[in-house]
Every structure is written in structure tokens, then in C-alpha cells.
Amino acid sequence: MTAFPAKPLAKTETSMIQQIEKLKEIINQNSMGHLPLPYRVDLMKQIGDTRTVQKVLCECCKKACSCFPEEFGAESLLYNILSEMDSYLYNNKGTAESILVSIERLRNYVEQSVDCPEGMASWAIISLGYAIRYDAASILAIEDYNGEDDDAFDFESWNADFICSIACSGSNPFVETGNVEKRKEYWLWYVKMVLEVSQNPNLKYLSLPVFKSPTPLIDIPVRHQSDNTIEAQFKDILSYIMDCEPQKFKEGLEYDILFVSTVVDMFSITSSDGDRITLNTKNCDKICNTLRDIRKRMYQKDPKQGAWFQVEIFLKNKEQYTFNFNYDNLEQLPSFFQEPDWLLGMFKKFPRSKEYTPLWLRKIVGRRKLYLT
């Protein structure tokens, strides 16, 4: 067999390998096990290609999420977005604009959890979304940058690579030293990954886990939060609704009264012929306040059963009406009210036991210790 000489490395590839070896020394010598931002900026600029830099940041997010398999399983809101980004970067599926819409929707929700390592992994995914939409400017084109380290910037400006180091090590090195070995392990993994991604930018370095079997549905127990007093209060408010502006309610028509409430309220009345009934602001405020008070009274009867998000009342007249309370159905809620941070805020105000919590709401609650026992 004839032996062929190995193909010589390109000059830029040799330079990258040499730089990676120097960075390993810097990481090992750093008292915090940290790789300072100036070195990472230079490294990313040496790569030069924006899409490859974005892939590097995506691999960091996948690494961080792998540290928290329970938090970032198939039911995770953030897993779905990370999967969307991964498909965009490696398979050209979707658009940067749609990714921006996804992360903007979850940003406020994620910000409520950045005080824990798994919360920082979620925040890294948000950061990655901005890096995808804005051409990785947060590391390739930092405004007025003069070689500062990560601690010189607000956490909203941190790059996903640094955020993931906090998630993987359990702490911010500029706040508390924490686990130096875990941080060092992460950054040594990082430089090795950067080298391989720069050499093979079309190959995924890490793969997201694939979840095939759907999660079984949960049977929510029957609730018992109403009594004669509650029913009398509803009857009183229905009489008030019809009497405050009686000329707007026509005989022979039925009316659909909808009240939705999380951090904000929505109240509407629609007749069976499709007309929208409007009431003045003073009357609407009184009705909304009363309905919120009724919900609170119902919740206090048995808090573990939770509080409803909306009530729909089908009204024929003052004596004939039916109620439909929505505690668990996300799809029934108007899309405007499906914001995760709003729904989480509602859960914090009216916590319930896990057995009364549907799967979609469990995703939003995550591992937060909010359930009633």
C-alpha cells in the first residue's frame, strides 16, 4: 500500500489551532476558570462568518440545556424555540424574523427566572435569538468596545457563550467565584467546539434530543368552588349588566358575556345577531371589579383547585343563563391573553396544586416551587 503524505493545513486553519491552544492556557491560568470577553471577540472575528458565529452560540445553548434535562424536555417552551433556531441555522428552515417574534413573546417570562442556573440557560436562548436576528452584532460589532470583560456590561447585553458559562457552572464569576472547575470545564469545551465548528460549519456539534412519544393527557379532578352565595352574586351582577343600559338589550335575543382576566381584563357582550354591546367605562369597571371579587371568593373556598382565567355567560334573560368557567383550556383564551409571563403572574397570584394544573401550565410554571401542597 502506498502511503500518501497528509494534506497540509491551510494557513488560517493553522492559525486557529494555535490560537485555541493559547486560549486553553489562558483558561487554565485564570483564577476564576473564565475566558475573558476580549479573547472571545477576537476568536469570533477570526472566524468572520456571521452564520458560523451564530452556530457557535447555538452550540453553547445546547450545551447549557443538556445540564438541565428536566427543564428542557419536549414540553419546554424554550426547547421548542431552541429547536426552531437550530433548524434555521443548520437546515435553513424558517426566518430570523419569526425567531425574533418567538423570543420577544417569551422574553418577559424568562426574565423572571434569571436568578437560577436553569433560568440563565433560558436567557441564553433569548440572547441567541437576538444574535440570529441582528447578525451576532453583540459579539462581532460591540459598540464603543475597548477590550472590557463581560462584567462591564448589563446582563441584557451579555452574549450566549458567557450566559451559558453561568448556567453550566452555577454562578457568575464576577459575583461569586463558585465552581471554578465546572466553569473551566465549560470554557475548555467551548474552545474545542469553536475549532470544530469553524472547520466543519455545516455539521452540528451537539444534537438536540428527539422526543417521539407524546405526553399523556392529565385528568383534572372535578372542582367544587360554587355555592348559593356565589350564585346569588352572579345573579346580581347579571341583573346589573342588563339594567345599567337596558335600551341596549333587545327581547328575543340571547347574549354571550365574556370576561377574561390575568394581569389585565377583557369584558365583552355580543348578541346572538352578532352585534357588540358597549357599556360606559364606569359600568365596565364596576362589572370587572365584581367579577374579580367573585373569582377571589371562589378561589378561597378551595385554593388548591386554582382560579379561573375566564368566565363565559350565556344569557337569555335575568332568570335563564348558564356559566362556563375556564381554568385549564389555553386554546379557549383569546390569543392576546396567552402570554407566558401573564399566565405565570396569574399562577403566582392564585397558586394551585399540581393535580389541578394542566400540562401547558406546568410548562410555564416549570420547576418553580409555586404549587400548593
Where in the chain are the domains? Answer: 11-199, 228-365
User: What's the confidence (pLDDT) of residue 14?
Assistant: 80
Confidence of residue 7 (pLDDT cuts 50, 70, 90): very low
Mean pLDDT computed over 275-298: 93
Dump pLDDT digits (tens) for 114-148. 888 989 999 999 999 999 999 999 999 998 899 99
Dump pLDDT digits (tens) for 20-73. 999 999 999 999 999 999 999 999 999 989 999 999 999 999 999 999 887 776
User: What's the confidence (pLDDT) of residue 56?
Assistant: 98
Q: Has residue 247 got a pLDDT over 90?
A: no
User: What's the confidence (pLDDT) of residue 61?
Assistant: 96
Q: Could you tell me if 306 and 327 are in contact, meaning their C-beta atoms sit under 8 angstroms apart? A: yes
Q: Has residue 5 got a pLDDT over 80?
A: no
User: What's the confidence (pLDDT) of residue 98?
Assistant: 95
- Within 10 A of 246 (CB to CB), how many other CB atoms are there? 8
- Within 10 A of 113 (CB to CB), how many other CB atoms are there? 18
- Within 10 A of 117 (CB to CB), how many other CB atoms are there? 18
User: What's the confidence (pLDDT) of residue 6?
Assistant: 45
Q: Has residue 13 got a pLDDT over 80?
A: no
Q: Could you tell me if 202 and 91 are in contact, meaning their C-beta atoms sit under 8 angstroms apart? A: no
User: What's the confidence (pLDDT) of residue 212?
Assistant: 47
The CA-atom distances, in angstroms, between 62 and each of 82, 157, 160, 190 are: 8, 20, 11, 12
Query: Would you state the cell numbers that stand for residue 59, as one nine-digit string?
Result: 452550540
Mean pLDDT computed over 249-278: 91
Mean pLDDT computed over 329-334: 92
User: What's the confidence (pLDDT) of residue 4?
Assistant: 45
Confidence of residue 74 (pLDDT cuts 50, 70, 90): low
Total number of residues shown for the chain: 373
User: What's the confidence (pLDDT) of residue 83?
Assistant: 93
* Cα 118–chain centre separation: 12
> How far apart are the C-alpha atoms of 94 and 75, rounded to whole Å?
21
H or E element, residue 316: strand 310-317
Q: What is the CATH number of domain 228-365?
A: 3.30.500.20
Q: Which residues contact 12 (CB under 8 A, 6 or more apart)?
A: none
Confidence of residue 306 (pLDDT cuts 50, 70, 90): very high
Q: Which residues of 68-103 are buried (b: 16+ CB within 10 A; e: fewer)?
A: beebbebbbbbbebbbbbbebbeeeeeebeebeebb
Nearest to 234 by CA among 290, 180, 185: 290
Indicate the DSSP class of residue 203.
S
Q: Has residue 215 got a pLDDT over 70?
A: no
Q: What is the mean pLDDT of the chain?
A: 90
Mean pLDDT computed over 187-207: 96
**Sign (positive or negative) of CA dihedral 231, 232, 233, 236:** positive
Q: Could you tell me if 197 and 55 are in contact, meaning their C-beta atoms sit under 8 angstroms apart? A: yes
